[in-house]
Amino acid sequence: MAGRTLKPVERIADIARGIGESDLSRRIDVETDDELGRLAATLNGMIGRLEEAFLKQRRFVADASHELRTPLAVIQAETSLVLEKPRAQDEYRRSLELVAQEVDYMSEIVGKLSSWPKRRRLRAAQFPGGQRRRPPQRALGGRRSLAQEKGLRLSLGPMDGVTVTGDRVRLRQLFLNILDNALRYTPSGGAITGSVTRRDGQAVVSISDTGIGIAEEHLPFIFDRFYRADKVRTDGEGGTGLGLSIATSIAKMHGGRSRSRARPARGTTFRILLPLAGPPAAPAVPNP
């Protein structure tokens, strides 16, 4: 009788011992409606919360690595170019300003990451009354050294004077991730063009390239996390499959959306649509 009574306890212990960080998907299966069943259900709930916490931690580490990698590549490319030969003083100054800009950007990103456990509350507080900026031009300008190193032409199309309300750092992340995708998948000799236009109460930010393109069957999935379209896009300088997912999530946070159009070997166009900022509210008039 004692053996039969303790058998479910031994089973719970065996399963619990087999659950580790590498596989938190397992659950304790005890089909009883007594104290042991309630204990198993409580442990399953705890394991589920641990699994969710580990998944968030892995996502955080992957996002942090992705977001810091490109600014470091920009600094490396810019310093390599400027040290190739003696240059005029204003060229050195421009390069140092670009490096300082990327360092500031990394500092802002690290500041955001250091508050990761509170990130959701911070976003909700910032977005409704966030800063009003025009970051696409900065994003394009900050990638000229990478484009030059790869032999690409980086140019600006129409740049309407639009204003959106949001988090300046997040918006810059959005545009940089789209632009970095174009830089990665456009062969030497190609071209990348950015533009900002107004349309139906929205700011439309477009980034087009003459790169390798994307097959039509992959387009519905390219904004999914860790999705990479095909072998051509994963060889060599292939990315992690995070950039477009991060970009589209930031667009959604700002009430916007992302669109793409591509054909194999004929390039890709990404469009980010963001609601335009409305006029500032008039101050309240006190009652007499």
Whether the pLDDT of residue 187 is over 70: the answer is: yes
CB 196 within 8 A of CB 162: yes
In sequence order, what are the residues at sequence separation of 6 or more whose Cβ sits closer than 8 angstroms to the Cβ of residue 3?
none
Q: What percent of the chain has a predicted confidence (pLDDT) above 70?
A: 78
pLDDT(26) > 50: yes
Q: Which of the pair, 214 or 31, is modelled with greater confidence?
A: 214
d(CA 142, CA 105): 11
Q: Is residue 33 pLDDT above 80, yes or no? A: no
* Residue with the larger pLDDT of the pair 106 and 174: 174
Q: Give the model's pLDDT for residue 119.
A: 44
Give Cα 25 to chain centroid, integer Å.
Answer: 26
Tell me the average pLDDT across 128-141.
Answer: 54
Average pLDDT score over the chain: 77
pLDDT, mean of residues 207-218: 90
Q: Measured on CA atoms in the order 156, 158, 162, 164, is the torsion positive or negative?
A: negative
pLDDT at 207: 93
Which pLDDT score is estimated for 69?
79
Distance CA 235, CA 239 (A): 9
Global pTM? 0.62
Task: Return the closest-CA partner of residue 175 out of 156, 198, 200, 149.
Answer: 156
pLDDT tens sequence across 221-276: 888 876 766 554 545 555 566 788 888 888 998 999 999 998 888 899 999 999 98
